[in-house]
Amino acid sequence: METRILGNTGMEVSRLGIGLAAIGFEETFDTIKTVEVVLKTALDQGITFFDTAECYFYSEEMVGQSISDRRSEFLLATKCGHPSGLQESGEYDFDWSIEGILLTLDRSLKRLKTDYVDLFQLHSCSVEVLEQGEVIEALTKARDAGKTR
């Protein structure tokens, strides 16, 4: 599998990565065993980038249960911003506070069965929110604590 450097991070990733929203939906992958086979096969084939989010239902749990024992072999990305996902109203419940972002990260780390993520992404964060500064402060705290790279 060909690899590339991810942006200006210095982190090497496979050209192909896997978005893991679908594994969080029980209708798509009905058992942890199925998810484990898919993700371990991907690793065996050289795929080293996995992307998930707290709002992808059970996705983070499935990743943690199935491949946390091979954590050194892949880069892991997750997201923050709307921890509960889409609400019945059709709106997202965004939380861009320092506390909310750090809480989201801690919950994600627990579910993913790891002590860090390689990439912690902002899920639909507006420029106006970024300009307030709390988001950057939270991300800096997370990085300084060794919870993100």
How many helices (H) and strands (E) are present in the chain, helices listed first? 5, 6
Catalytic site residues?
Answer: 56
Give tens-digit pLDDT for 98-111.
998 999 999 999 99
Report the share of the chain in percent with pLDDT over 90: 73
Give CA–CA dist 58/118, Å, rounded: 20
Q: In sequence order, which ranges of 8-145 are alpha helices (DSSP H)?
A: 32-44, 59-67, 98-112, 127-132, 134-144
- Half-sphere exposure (Cβ direction) of 26: Cα atoms closer than 13 Å: 0
Q: Which domains does the chain have, with CATH numbers?
A: 3-144 (3.20.20.100)
What pLDDT is attached to residue 92? 64
pLDDT value at 29 more than 70? no
Task: Indicate the SS3 state at residue 123.
Answer: coil
What pLDDT is attached to residue 25? 75
Give tens-digit pLDDT for 60-94.
999 999 999 999 999 999 999 876 555 566 666 78
Mean per-residue pLDDT of the chain: 90
pLDDT value at 112 more than 80? yes
